[in-house]
A and B are shown apart, each in its own frame.
Chain A
Amino acid sequence: MLTQFEQYAVTSMMGAGDTPPRANGTLCFASEWERSAFGVALALARDGHFEWEDFRRNLIAAIGDWERAQTPHTPDWNYYEQWLAALEATMLQHGLTTPEELAARTGAAA
């Protein structure tokens, strides 16, 4: 019945804790990087670089970490920050990049 991977991927998250922000029947992106992170994760799973469920597990874990870390000083919630953390983790787990490569790119410590 489901013919499009994109549709399957988003439908699988509906009603669960990792469901993406949306309004008026469409996805909501606050900025271009959120859109990129979303598109990259779906494309990698669609093309078989990892299972969608592997990514979702990391996303749910990232959301859980954020929730457990709640203090009065916890920064405002941003769904796509968790998404990006999950994407990095999944890419590292599946050898699509290395901590060194990432560090070299972003200038951050690995």
Chain B
Amino acid sequence: MSDRFQYPNDREARSAARAKALEALLIEKGIINATTVDTVLKVFETRMGPFNGAKIVARAWVDPAFKQRLVADTPAAIAELTDLPEGMAGAEGEHMRAVANGEGVHNLIICTLCSCYPWPVLGLPPYWYKDPTFRSRAAREPRAVLKEFGLDVPTATEVKVWDSSAQIRWFVIPERPAGTEGMSEAELAALVTPESMMGVAVANAA
């Protein structure tokens, strides 16, 4: 094997050794403990992320009355769900408002500041989301922007753009895909992407 191919593996092994050494040193000194890293990552991996939004959407798909309540009073409806992490309906989530896609209407959310992104439900925003060009174009010509995302919204369908702010953080309830009648809530949740809850895509096909 030539050096060319060897080099990246060496780098990787060196970085792994350095990271491990730092963590071990800090644990030995009592500055952190063996579970510190997992505790920090738990916030991102289980507490706040698009998997929460996906659960909410899947419930709305199987329960039309819940969907109505979700649109009418989003935090109260979210608070009904017991399998979401603590605090989902409060704190950062307290000003959340859901808008539903349906016959003749497609919703798109944008926001100026990433701090306005509904994190607990959608997770971390994608790179392009904070781009001023994306934001201004999405507000001005949403159909053209959606087309670039591969979403051709029929002319008869109204496109509504919602600008999140410190007061209200929006998310979209995408339409339930066809052919999903027999699916469980968990199976349905797996079809809900962050992009579909931003309105730049539809939910994945079954």
Q: Which residues of B contact A3 (CB under 8 A)?
A: 87, 91-92
Query: With an 8 A cutoff between CB atoms, is B18 at the interface?
Result: yes
Complex Cα distance A22/B114, Å? Answer: 14
- Out of B17, B43, B130, name the residue touching A15 (CB < 8 Å): B130
Q: Which residues of B contact A71 (CB under 8 A)?
A: none
- Digitize B4-18: 1 where CB-to-A-CB distance is under 8 Å, 0 elsewhere: 000110011011111
Query: With an 8 A cutoff between CB atoms, is B31 at the interface?
Result: yes
- Out of B15, B17, B20, B193, name the residue touching A24 (CB < 8 Å): B193
DSSP majority for the B interface? helix
B89-122 residues with Cβ-Cβ distance < 8 A to A are 91-92, 114-115, 119, 122
Cβ of A106 to closest chain B Cβ, rounded Å: 5
Complex Cα distance A44/B25, Å? Answer: 13
Indicate whether A106 sits within 8 Å of B87 (C-beta atoms), given known contacts A35-B41, A40-B36, A101-B25. no
- Out of A6, A22, A32, A75, name the residue touching B11 (CB < 8 Å): A75
Indicate whether A36 sits within 8 Å of B45 (C-beta atoms), given known contacts A11-B114, A26-B124, A43-B40. no
Complex Cα distance A43/B25, Å? Answer: 14
CB-based contact B21/A105 at 8 Å: yes
Complex Cα distance A39/B33, Å? Answer: 12
Indicate whether A36 sits within 8 Å of B119 (C-beta atoms), given known contacts A14-B114, A14-B130, A75-B7. no
Query: With an 8 A cutoff between CB atoms, is A84 at the interface?
Result: yes
A11-43 residues with Cβ-Cβ distance < 8 A to B are 11, 14-15, 19, 22, 24-27, 31-40, 42-43
Cβ of B58 to closest chain A Cβ, rounded Å: 16
- Digitize A66-88: 1 where CB-to-B-CB distance is under 8 Å, 0 elsewhere: 00000000011010110010011
Q: Which residues of B contact A36 (CB under 8 A)?
A: 19-20, 23, 37
Interface residues of A toward B: which range? 35 or more
- Out of A2, A19, A78, name the residue touching B92 (CB < 8 Å): A2
A residues apposed to B, CB below 8 Å:
1-4, 6-7, 10-11, 14-15, 19, 22, 24-27, 31-40, 42-44, 46-47, 49, 75-76, 78, 80-81, 84, 87-88, 91, 96-97, 101-102, 105-106, 108
B residues apposed to A, CB below 8 Å:
7-8, 11-12, 14-26, 29, 31-32, 36-41, 43-45, 48-50, 87, 91-92, 114-115, 119, 122-127, 130, 166, 193-194
Given A40-B22, A46-B40, A47-B32, 10 more A-B residue pairs with CB atoms under 8 Å apart are A10-B124, A24-B194, A25-B125, A26-B44, A32-B16, A33-B19, A40-B32, A49-B31, A76-B8, A105-B24
